[in-house]
Amino acid sequence: MEKENTNKDVYLAKWLAGDLSDNQLKELVSSVDFDAFSKIRKGIEVYEQLVAPTEASFSKIQQRINANSPKVKPLYKYWSIAAAASVILFFGLFFLLDSGNVSIETGFGEQKTIALLDGSEVIINSRSKVSYNKESWAEQRIVNLEGEAYFKVEKGNTFTVKTINGNVTVLGTQFNVISDGSYFDVVCYEGKVAVKIDVSEHVLLPSQTVQKLNGLPATSNFVQHIKPTWIEGESTFRSVPVKYVISALEKQYNITFNTIEIDDSVVFTGGFPHNNLKVALQTVFETLDIKYSEKENRNINLRY
């Protein structure tokens, strides 16, 4: 076992030195070890940016040692890198990975339910990302969102969801947020929600929604559902350009669309199921008189 671990250290050192390619390393170690080594290399890249002056000093020391030990220079090259990696793992990477940042992402057609530190629940829709800092949570409950998520917030201190399109601030409530490109949509299902979009502010009560599209002024409306339909397996839209519906289809079914022959700004109101691609395509595109055909594997061409 000790010999096996020593071999891994040598492989790691040679790989970091550029004397082993990714494919060569994959043949020598398990997939689990390769993933671990990849994280080490990524950490080293970040660490090098943080300690550039220290690296210069280390380089001088290394040159002196190499000058005094010419016979072991090749071996030292590997082991010095391995030693540096070990130092980074114990000091640099420990600091970086233990900074308190937590990030959760979903894949195509995947939903995840997570509990935050205060007991609040977040259901994350497909191809979306939620992140927060556990170290600063006691002082400020801030969650960053890319994509779509449904929040069930416990009563207590102010809770804020930040997106590139705007921020949502609440105090014990349930709401849904979509931030996809220039599409921003917030629906309040329970309690009260304060939404800030650029310089405008909106206060939503249950069943109220605010929506902003393509940089245009935000508009308000009402919904009839008591919770987001996507949680139950169906995505629904109201007066949304079809390009955002297409984006949702791609995230749900892991497909791509060629939209060059259609006007993707045409407004769509309706929905599609998450468990049947054929029906999903029919309900969206036949409603808009758009023809569709599979151009190649999981690449669908749209035309009139």
Give 25-40 pLDDT, tens digit per residue. Answer: 878 877 767 777 777 7
* Nearest CA-CA partner of 116 in 169, 164, 154: 154
* Nearest CA-CA partner of 248 in 167, 163, 183: 183
Domain ranges of the chain: 2-97, 101-229, 233-303
Across 161-165, average pLDDT: 96
Across 253-272, average pLDDT: 95
Higher pLDDT, 211 or 71: 211
What CATH architecture is 101-229?
A: Sandwich (2.60)
What CATH architecture is 233-303?
A: 3-Layer(bab) Sandwich (3.55)
Q: Residue 72: is its pLDDT beyond 90?
A: no
Task: Say which residue the tokens 């993933």 belong to.
Answer: 35
Higher pLDDT, 156 or 117: 117
Q: Decide if 20 contacts 29 (C-beta within 8 A).
A: no
Helix 2-17 vs helix 31-50: crossing angle, to nearest 10: 50
Q: Decide if 240 contacts 271 (C-beta within 8 A).
A: no
Q: Decide if 211 contacts 184 (C-beta within 8 A).
A: yes
Q: Residue 92: is its pLDDT beyond 60?
A: no
The model's pTM is 0.67
pLDDT digits (tens, 9 = 90+) for 171-204: 889 999 999 989 999 999 999 999 999 888 999 9
Domains 101-229 and 233-303 share a fold: no
Total residue count of the chain as it appears in this document: 304
Q: How far apart are CA 140 and CA 162, in angstroms?
A: 12
pLDDT band at 4 (very low <50, low <70, confident <90, very high): low
Q: How far apart are CA 143 and CA 135, in angstroms?
A: 13
